Amino acid sequence: MTAVAYRTITVAPIAGALGAEIGGVDLSTSLSDETVAEIRRAWLDHLVVFFREQDVSLDAFRAFARRIGEPVEYPFVKGMDDFPEIITVSKLPHETVNFGGIWHSDTVYLERPPMATLLVAREVPPFGGDTLFANMYAAYEALSPAMQRMLAPLRAVHSSALADVSKTREDRMRDAGNGETREYTSEHPVVRTHPETGRRALYVNVAHTLRFAGFTDDESRPLLQFLFAHSVRPEFTCRFQWRVGSIAMWDNRCAMHNPVNDYHGYTRTMHRITLAGDLPR
């Protein structure tokens, strides 16, 4: 990746595939348009960006999110009373399943999945609880030309009700559910063109993708299983270790994530905002 000059922030990549830490910025303050533009440019270049030691109130967290996009409510967990766009994501000491603990891109089962997700760490375990991210541009680009041609016209059916991801919501829905019980389904291209960068990204994930449109589950399964495993090869990923005050912002249009569930007996609490997206094409 070509080095990019920034005037108001510092940007330090954390891995070869994706991910960078942004420094020199205090997200609790009002940011200049130039700083916001540079943050957004770094985010588009690196797919996920991280900020350390950010003492942000809920107001400040939402205000920063609004500089990037439009915060929207999550369909299954009720937001906070005064901040309906912010949900609390916690795993408590007695719980053994973590929220969203499987590789995925957020809410792909919606007609217009979110553009981005922001997460701020409020309480973290003494060890563990990292989050993995995967570069879906790289996953697509590493496929053979023949496979790319085969996937190009295909669309995939996604569901909110697949068992492995549904069980990761159960504790949060019990504690802060919004009464939503319906199943959401969508159909999107298997290869998505990013609306801002113009790059192509693989757009299926093990948590939500049910089958290829027009194919049966059995017919779809072998190729989907290959794509699921291929897309999270180590060389396409990075790993982020949280500290209190850390913030991550990732691009759901070209990156997946997976919170690692390796801290039983401890509390991990985050606040999350998702930003409205467009219709995948």
Positions marked catalytic: 104, 106, 257, 272
Side by side, which strands form the sheet with 255-259? 237-240, 131-135, 255-259
DSSP for residue 234: G
Sheet holding 155-159, edge to edge: 185-189, 155-159, 209-212
Q: What kind and span of H or E run contains 37?
A: helix 33-46
Beta bridge partners of 24: none
Give the position of tokens 């991210």: 133
> By C-alpha distance, which of 205, 189, 17, 201 is closest to 102?
205
Two tokens, residue 214: 């027009």
Contact of 87 with 120, CB cutoff 8 Å: no
* Cα 18 to Cα 131: distance, rounded to the nearest angstrom: 13
